[in-house]
Amino acid sequence: MSEAAVRTGRRGRSGGGAARRAARTAVSVETAKYIERNVPNYEVLTEDALAVIEANAETVLAEIGVMFVDNPDALDRWRDAGADVEGERVRIPRGLARQLCSTAPSQYTQCARNPERNVVVGGNNLVLAPVYGPPFVRDAEGGRRYATMEDFEKFVKLGYMSKWLHHSGGTVCEPTDVPVNKRHLDMLLAHMIYSDKPFMGSVTEPSRAQDSVDMCNILFGEEFVQQNTVMTSLININSPLTFDSIMMGALEVFAKNNQASIISPFIVGGAMAPVSIAGTLTQAIAEVMAGVAYSQIIRPGSPVVAGTFVTSIDMNSGAPTFGTPEASHVTYGMGQLVRRLGLPYRSAGGFTGSKLPDAQAAYESANSLNMGLLSGVNFMLHACGWLEGGLVSSFEKFVMDADQLGTLHQFSKGVEMNENGQAMDAIEEVGPGGHYLGCAHTQANFKDAFWRSDLLDYKPFETWEDEGARDTMALATVRVKTLLDTYQQPAIDPEIEAKLRAYVADKKASMPDSFT
Amino acid sequence: MSEAAVRTGRRGRSGGGAARRAARTAVSVETAKYIERNVPNYEVLTEDALAVIEANAETVLAEIGVMFVDNPDALDRWRDAGADVEGERVRIPRGLARQLCSTAPSQYTQCARNPERNVVVGGNNLVLAPVYGPPFVRDAEGGRRYATMEDFEKFVKLGYMSKWLHHSGGTVCEPTDVPVNKRHLDMLLAHMIYSDKPFMGSVTEPSRAQDSVDMCNILFGEEFVQQNTVMTSLININSPLTFDSIMMGALEVFAKNNQASIISPFIVGGAMAPVSIAGTLTQAIAEVMAGVAYSQIIRPGSPVVAGTFVTSIDMNSGAPTFGTPEASHVTYGMGQLVRRLGLPYRSAGGFTGSKLPDAQAAYESANSLNMGLLSGVNFMLHACGWLEGGLVSSFEKFVMDADQLGTLHQFSKGVEMNENGQAMDAIEEVGPGGHYLGCAHTQANFKDAFWRSDLLDYKPFETWEDEGARDTMALATVRVKTLLDTYQQPAIDPEIEAKLRAYVADKKASMPDSFT
């Protein structure tokens, strides 16, 4: 809710019903600054436990090693860096990976085409980005269906309109109506022209990573791209302990061009890592250290984010499960381990296994968002819109989660301890048995004192019933429509837009369609 | 999910579909032990901030003071204890309240009629109790309606059947079909005979507190009651800084009889306390110190719980709001302050302002439950079933929240750091590119490795769709029915039951009905 709406909405003080209604239906395109935490992180592991896991991770790297598959250049690089290479197995002597990681920056700025939207990834900051990867979309009207480029553009627009979202993301859904070998071009174009927030590059082929760099050269200028980070892209590790040539090829392109990569194990617990928390953390931090070390071999000082994506599993059905305590343990622990490496941390999101944006989705997502905030995550992918274990991007859930992200901002401000915060004058003024609604301190502070949802229902029961007794899903359907109806494209230099469109058209014309 | 169900449900290992289906529909009456946290608390305030708030609270008590209304005996007691009494205003010299609080136990055992259900309130423990106080109930079939004694009994039965709920609670809803001056008798009887979990006493009149003690004398034996705590009851402070004679009268009865009271400010932020966090904490800890001190004046060593109930407020509508960041700040901070007093702490719950058990309800409740766990709460009232700002006890939400309470248990176990937890053998056995599903470590650990919901949907999409594409609310409706259909009353000595029923009948016959 904008400050103006709070002001006009105040009871008995101002312009009455019409002004209040107008303010309530106004759509803000304001974007909050990325979160700068003024609250501590939650730490679930003791110093002793951290030391054990770190020592074990060194053992894993030195004795078990990692695989770099179909990538002879990588093997040569590792050999040169001092690793023991046997076939595609790379065993990294104790201490070497950590030493190589030390050249990675502890934080970096990702530039957006609108400099006001630049984000600083690392430190106490938290940057929020939307769901990534689902092949399906769902909304109340159309149900569940394969995602299209039209859906993709809608999600980019919703992200642009979402106050608490700092980042436009990457594959907000898979546009399955565009050939696999061409869709990255349309996706990048959509992020570049429909939003002015920072975005992610393509990782599905090294050549597509290069296309991402080339398009950024058009958007930002080649010199700017070489001197600044303008993309943060998602490089998944094939857990356990395997680095494939496609992902590593994309990482190589980005690192060489000074662009950031999130290097992130993708772990379904009990399948890609041990069922135990400490075992999962050991493997995950070993994997991250190997991947980050490799990025620094490619280009020392290139920006990276140490990630982890972890779910538990329902041993009955084999389904991954979300918002569970085991994921929280791993996410808190991994935050501690990554901070000891001095790297930015990516994890968490609005995760759920639910098929609908219902109570299950909200319980699981809230559990997951809270753990993300308190675990010190610096870059949160999937912060909004994730449904059905990542198979579905949900329009309603996008705006529901995006609204909840406001609570993370407010909580992170911490507790004001100055004289105004202490409010001793107010306590004295009101005294026993009084009330604070009218006192001077309340009047001076109420506008910013309490976070307020832009979506959820706070109405009196009778009003709510008269308006159709709508649940959150129904309110979200309205909000999606309102946001899309009022969307206005941020200004872009027409010459640059034309060049981007020409680049995409030329590239698409240069190769046959492929849907595999 | 019971261990048996996990075992029979394991794919490809056992009795097939029929056994799995039987296990899945079986209803467990197992009750988990209260939570013993093996994880740290989250602390939002620095040492400096805590010292400032504590000093300010002493100033409030010494200079502003508190009111003890319509209670001349209390004023005499305060005067005797060294306070400065002026009219009904009690000013407590610096240090006196804290000194008086020091005789209160840091933890106590509340006995249940089934000793296996005894709970220890304090320390690192967390005891979970259901919603308290709503005049309305809601379920999918009947909608929202005034609560009756039949509803009340159903909630007691649901609480008894809920594995993760340790406590039967008190006014799980207000049975509005029973006269106000008699309903406490029926409520106590229901807790005593339909459940064997610990419960709460009546606080709506001192005489009803005495009835609670008298009925406990029948249930447990008079000597046992004098030597043990068998009730934990809810004494609200009339914030700001006011203690009324009804609540204090009930407190006096309980303290004299060695029964526990939760002494708890009830604060809608900005109305009953300053809009700022530090101001609210100052007032709340001052109120708690005055209330606890008074309990110790009545009987040094009598068990108490230092509570806080705090909501934010929507300044547009005046509605209290829940699951918000301001409530989290206060709840975390109050936990720190209460621990420094050496007292058990009550706060949090599955709070929401939503009218329905929908996504809003789940977001807000999950935010609130997570903060309760991490803030070190020892006694959590309203842990399940709360809806619409406490106006409604919801049957569906009761089982939804009660299921989520399982995540608090699992998270609290912390991270296993022994050799099995470290899982180095498993990482070596599986190696790069393998998978863990079949490895020895997984086989040995999978049963207990991951928390599993008894309610939420983990099914494949196609199965879920074939079964009607049910949302959480629909699944909860089924679970409520299943639990109530399979409820069996725990055994009770028929002579004691007869005496309890006779006590209730006699008491009810002894006075005219009153509905005000």
**Got the DSSP string for A79-108?**
HHHT-EEETTEEE--TTHHHHHHTTS-SEE
**A457 and B282 in contact by Cβ < 8 A?**
no
Other C-beta atoms within 10 Å of B341: how many?
A: 20
Nearest in space to A155 (alpha carbons), one of A381, A369, A383, A394: A394
> In chain B, what residues touch A370 (CB-CB under 8 Å)?
366-367, 370-371
B310 occurs within a structural domain: yes
* B334-353 residues touching A, CB cutoff 8 A: 353
**Average confidence (pLDDT) over A58-67:** 98
8 Å CB contact between B195 and B168? yes
Two tokens, residue B294:
């008074």
Give the gap in angstroms from C-alpha B427 to the nearest C-alpha of chain A.
Answer: 7
Alpha helices in B322-358 (DSSP H): 325-341
Tell me the Ramachandran region of residue A311: left when phi exceeds 0, alpha when psi lies from -120 to 50, beta otherwise.
beta
The answer to whether the peptide bond before residue B490 is cis (omega within 30 degrees of 0) is no
Q: Cis peptide leading into A240, omega within 30 of 0?
A: yes
User: Does a structural domain hold residue A462?
Assistant: no
A411 and chain B: CB distance < 8 Å anywhere?
yes
Contacts of B68 in chain A (CB under 8 A): none
CA B62 to chain A, closest CA, distance in angstroms equals 12
What is the C-alpha to C-alpha distance for residues B317 and B237, in angstroms, rounded to an integer? 25
Length of chain A (residues) = 516
Determine the residue of chain A that is closest to B363 in CA distance: A362
Domain-embedded: residue A451: no
Give the list of residues 6+ apart from residue B44 with CB closer than 8 angstroms, or none: A39, A40, A414, A415, B328, B329, B332, B333, B336
CB-nearest partner of B315 from A10, A48, A388: A10
Average pLDDT, rounded, for chain A: 94
B472 to A359: CB separation less than 8 angstroms, yes or no = yes
- Taking 60 as the threshold, does the pLDDT of residue B19 lie above it? no
Residue type, A368: S
d(CA A159, CA B338): 42
- Note down the domain range covering B123: 26-414+440-516
Report the alpha-carbon distance of residue A63 to residue A44 in Å, rounded: 28
> Taking CB atoms and an 8 Å cutoff, what residues of chain B touch A436?
240, 270-275
pLDDT (mean) for A226-248: 97
Q: Average of pLDDT values for B42-56? A: 98
Residue whose structure tokens are 């176990």: B413
Place of tokens 């809920």: B162
Residue that is written with structure tokens 């901030």 in the block: B49
Mutate to test the interface with B, among A371, A453, A458, A466 (most CBs of B within 10 A): A458
Q: Where are the alpha helices (DSSP H) in A10-128?
A: 16-25, 47-59, 72-81, 96-101
- The dihedral over CA atoms of A59, A64, A66, A68, expressed in degrees to the nearest 10, equals 150
Identify which of B6, B48, B315 has the shortest CB distance to residue A450.
B315
Mean pLDDT of A171-179: 98
Looking at beta carbons, which residues of chain B come within 8 Å of A359? 357-359, 361-362, 400, 471-473, 476
Alpha helices by DSSP H, listed for A203-306, are: 206-220, 222-227, 245-256, 277-298
d(CA B77, CA B92): 12
**Position A317 pLDDT exceeds 90:** no
The residues in B 354-393 lying below 8 A from A, measured between CB atoms, are 354-367, 370-371, 374, 388, 391
What is d(CA A515, CA A183) in angstroms, rounded to the nearest whole number?
10
A15 vs B: CB within 8 A: no
Question: Helices B72-81 and B277-298 meet at what angle, rounded to 10?
Answer: 90
Task: Read off φ and ψ for residue A163, nearest 5 degrees.
Answer: -60, -40
Q: What is the CATH number of the domain that holds A320?
A: 3.20.20.480
Residues in chain B with CB shorter than 8 Å from the CB of A315 are 6, 9-10, 446-447, 449-450, 452
pTM of the model: 0.94
Whether chain B has a CB inside 8 Å of the CB on A449: the answer is: yes
Residues A116 and A16 in one domain: no
Q: Is A46 helix (H, G, I), strand (E, B) or coil?
A: coil
- Return the structure tokens found at B207: 């005489």
- Supply B420's token pair: 């099995």
Q: pLDDT tens digits for A326-385?
A: 999 999 999 999 999 999 999 999 999 999 999 999 999 999 999 999 999 999 999 999
Q: Flag if B275 and A391 touch (Cβ within 8 Å).
A: no
SS3 content of chain B, % helix, strand, coil (to 5): 50, 15, 40
Say if the Cβ atoms of A432 and B67 lie within 8 Å.
yes
> What would the two tokens of residue B13 be?
């290992």
Band (pLDDT 50/70/90 cuts) for residue A20 is low
Q: Per the domain annotation, does A223 fall within a domain?
A: yes
Token pair listed for B408: 């608090």
Decide if pLDDT at A2 tops 70: no
Examine residue A250 and state whether it is found in any structural domain, yes or no. Answer: yes
Side-chain-facing half-sphere of A27: CA atoms under 13 Å = 18
User: What does the DSSP 8-state code read for residue A299?
Assistant: S
Inter-chain residue contact A353 with B269, CB threshold 8 Å = no
Cα torsion through B272, B274, B278, B281, rounded to 10: -10
Residues from chain A contacting residue B367 (CB–CB below 8 Å): 366, 370, 407
The rounded distance, in Å, linking the Cα atoms of B174 and B378 is 25
Q: Which of A326, A363, A437 sits opposite B451 (nearest CB)?
A: A326
Question: Could you tell me if B270 lies within 8 Å of chain A, comparing CB atoms?
Answer: yes
Burial of A245 (0-12, 13-18, 19+ CB in 10 A): middle
pLDDT tens digits, residue range A180-228?
A: 999 999 999 999 999 999 999 999 999 999 999 999 999 999 999 999 9
Any bridge partners for residue A305, and if so which? Answer: A262
Count of beta carbons in the 10 Å neighbourhood of residue A101: 22
Q: Answer whether residue B28 shows pLDDT above 50.
A: no
Is the pLDDT at A263 greater than 80, yes or no? yes
Rounded CA separation A17/A22 (Å): 9
Question: Rounded distance, CA A436 to CA B269, Å?
Answer: 9
Query: Does residue B21 belong to any structural domain of this protein?
Result: no
In a domain, B15, yes or no: no
What residues of B are in contact with residue A325 (Cβ under 8 Å)? 407-408, 410-411, 451
Q: Are residues A175 and A324 in the same domain?
A: yes
- Regarding whether A130 and A2 lie in a shared domain, the answer is no
User: What DSSP element (H or E) covers A321?
Assistant: strand A320-321
Compute the nearest-CA separation of B211 from chain A (Å).
Answer: 30
A67 touches A242 (CB < 8 A): yes
The rounded mean pLDDT for chain B is 94
Which residues, in sequence order, are CB contacts of B99 under 8 Å at separation 6+?
Answer: none
- Look up residue B420 and give its amino acid: N
DSSP per-residue codes, A205-227: SHHHHHHHHHHHHHHH-HHHHHH
Regarding whether A256 and A337 lie in a shared domain, the answer is: yes
What average pLDDT does this structure show over A163-173? 98
Strands (E) in B308-380, as ranges, are 309-313, 320-321, 345-346, 379-380
Give the pLDDT confidence of B175-215 residue by residue, as tens digits: 999 999 999 999 999 999 999 999 999 999 999 999 999 99
pLDDT at B17 over 80: no
ipTM attached to this prediction: 0.94
- Contact yes or no for A232/A379 (Cβ under 8 A): yes
Q: Is A224 on the interface with B (CB under 8 A)?
A: no
Average of per-residue pLDDT across B143-152: 98
In our burial notation (b when 16+ CB lie closer than 10 A, e otherwise), range B133-162 reads bbebbbbbeeebeebbbebbbbbbbbbbbb
Name chain B contacts of A371, Cβ cutoff 8 Å.
370
H/E stretch holding B306 reads strand B304-307
pLDDT tens across A389-443, in order? 999 999 999 999 999 999 999 999 999 999 999 999 999 999 999 999 989 999 9
C-alpha distances in Å from residue B435, one per residue of A240, B20, B488: 7, 26, 45
Say whether B423 and A274 touch across the interface (CB within 8 A). yes
* Interface check B7 vs A, CB under 8 A: no
How far CA A431 is from CA of B78, B292, B309, in Å, comes to: 19, 20, 19
Which residues of chain B neighbour A450 with C-beta distances below 8 Å? Answer: 269-270, 275, 312-315, 321, 324, 326
A464 interface with B at CB cutoff 8 Å: yes
Using an 8 Å CB-CB cutoff, list chain B residues near A333: 415
Distances (CA, A) of A384 to A11, A162, A390, B112, B206: 33, 10, 11, 45, 51
DSSP string, B22-75: HHHH------PPPEE--SPPP--S-HHHHHHHHHHHHHIIIII-EEETT-HHHH
Which contiguous run of DSSP H or E holds residue B461?
helix B461-466
Mean pLDDT of B332-354: 97
- Window 127-186 of A, Cβ < 8 Å to B: 144
> Cβ–Cβ of A433/B328 closer than 8 Å?
no
Residue where a domain stops, chosen among A375, A410, A445: A410
pLDDT tens for A265-310 read 999 989 999 999 999 999 999 999 999 999 999 999 999 999 999 9
User: Mind listing the pLDDT tens digit for each residue in B431-475?
Assistant: 999 999 989 999 999 888 999 999 999 999 999 999 999 999 999
Say whether pLDDT at A18 is over 70: no
- HEC per residue, A338-358: HHHHCCCEECCCCCCCCCCCC
Q: Please list every residue in chain B whose beta carbon sits closer than 8 Å to the beta carbon of residue A11.
A: 316, 318
A266 touches chain B (CB under 8 A): no
Q: List, in order, residues 6 or more apart from B229 with CB less than 8 Å away.
A: B108, B109, B110, B111, B258, B259, B260, B303
What domain count does chain A have?
2
- The Cα–Cα gap between B175 and B183 comes to 7
- What pLDDT is stored for residue B5 in this prediction? 31
Q: Is the pLDDT of residue A155 over 60?
A: yes
A8 shares a domain with A112:
no
pLDDT at B1: 30
Nearest CA in chain A to B455: A360
Query: What is chain B's length?
Result: 516
Number of H helices, E strands in chain B: 20, 19
Does a structural domain hold residue A63?
Answer: no
What residue of A is the nearest CA neighbor of B361? Answer: A359
pLDDT for res A4: 32
Q: Does B415 contact A442 at a Cβ distance shorter than 8 Å?
A: no
Backbone angles phi, psi at B81, to 5 degrees: -80, -10
